[in-house]
Amino acid sequence: MTTTTRCSALPIAWACPESQNHAEGEVLINQTDEPAEAGTAFHRWIGAKIAGTDLDQDQLAAEHGCDADELRMLCSMGMKALGELRKYIDCSDDPLRTEVRLEATTKGGRVIVGTADVLGRQRRVALLVDWKTGRLDSDYTHQTRGYGLGALRALGDIDEVVIITVWVRQGTWDIEKISAAQLDAWADEFDRRMRNGRGSFNPGGHCGYCQRQASCPGRQALVRQTVADLSLEGTPVIAWTAETRAALGPAIGTMYGRVKLIEKAAQDFRDMLKADVQQFGPISIGGGRQLSLTPTNRRSLDVARARPVLVAHLNEQEIDRATKISVSECEAAVAAKAGRGAGAAAKRSLIDGLERAGAINVTTTYALRETKE
């Protein structure tokens, strides 16, 4: 039987091979969020940019349901990185290709597939660029190894692969050179781990990215055991003493990792309840109480529209300082400048002007709260 693994799933497959062995009919969970959608929109924009096409950022944000300001920030940071990386990527012998589907079959018959953000070559060296719009706390080593193996198969006659991983938000990048022999050895090790790891679960922080997290018996068992372990011979952990710390020793690190797993499971449950209430209404929980959604409005400034109004209340330096933070910061700056007794009127005047100019954007979020029925 041929088994296919996506490059994006390689980090979790490496950590827990059983994560890839889905039972027939098993419910799999694909989680996405606004930051992830912003990343997808950015990949479309930067790919088109490299190919010589300009896509409208606001339209992309609307299509992907992400924040337009965040997308504009990512595009700006991406362009800055692209300019500084030109010395590496402009030396390609062939025109750079974007969004290139890669596929490689290991000696053990496993198929690894993925999409390279940018692919090029210079003589017998392959060039890969991988744009990362997430945080630096994730290890993508095995994902990029998968891309590298795919580049070997796609281009042929390649001795080395240069992989540039760009951390867009941070404006930094890593450059790694991997020989063809090293990539083949990595593929052999991947085969071995997948073969020997069948039936063995390795739950941990990576479970949050796993499609099997809701049904995984290993994760469920670890959560149950951790809850039991958090009581030390009947004494709750809140009674922690120096003796407790000394007795636990290195086990503290293990328990901390497990606690994070419980917190993730609890958050997943909260998210499920929130979705239920959003669709079907409040949930009665007894004692005259219910779970309902409470709205919170967050105001943000459209700086381009706000500036003509702000100049009537603040100087340029004050505007620059305030608009980097929030509407509330602008109100505070105006009130402070107006002086005692005049602050409230100054704030009302400011908000009236901003609202008339259409410069205040209001975003409503809903939090799950326990309220009276």
Instruction: Provide DSSP, 12-49.
Output: HHHH-GGGG-PPTT--------HHHHHHHHHHHHHHHH
Instruction: Tell me the mean pLDDT per 10 residues along the chain, length 373.
Output: 81 84 67 70 93 90 87 90 82 81 93 94 91 77 95 92 91 92 96 84 72 73 68 52 72 75 79 85 84 76 76 79 66 84 85 82 73 70
Instruction: Please state, in angstroms and rounded to a whole number, the distance separating the CA atoms of residues 252 and 85.
Output: 43
Tell me the pTM.
0.61
- Residue 85 token pair: 């990386």
Is the Cβ–Cβ distance between 146 and 7 less than 8 Å? yes
Is 288 part of any domain? no
- Residue 75 token pair: 């595009």
- The per-residue pLDDT for 325 is 52
Q: Are residues 266 and 316 in the same domain?
A: no
- The per-residue pLDDT for 143 is 94
Which DSSP letter does residue 283 get? E
Overall residue count recorded for the chain in this entry: 373
Q: Are residues 189 and 300 in the same domain?
A: no
Is 246 part of any domain? yes
Q: Are residues 21 and 156 in the same domain?
A: yes
Is 209 part of any domain? no
Is 287 part of any domain? no
Q: Are residues 167 and 231 in the same domain?
A: no
H-run or E-run covering 290: strand 289-301
Instruction: Please state, in angstroms and rounded to a whole number, the distance separating the CA atoms of residues 48 and 56.
Output: 11
- HSE-up of 95 (CA within 13 Å, CB side)? 5
- The per-residue pLDDT for 227 is 67
Amino acid, single-letter form, for residue 149: L
Q: Are residues 241 and 361 in the same domain?
A: no
Which DSSP letter does residue 237 get? G
Q: Which domain holds residue 225?
A: 216-277
Domain end call among 132, 165, 196? 196
Is 203 part of any domain? no
Domain end call among 277, 309, 325? 277
Is 202 part of any domain? no
Which DSSP letter does residue 55 get? P
Give the contacts of 257 (CB within 8 A, at least 6 positions apart): 204, 205
- CATH of residue 57's domain is 3.90.320.10
Is 341 part of any domain? yes
Name the domain count of the chain. 3
- The per-residue pLDDT for 65 is 86
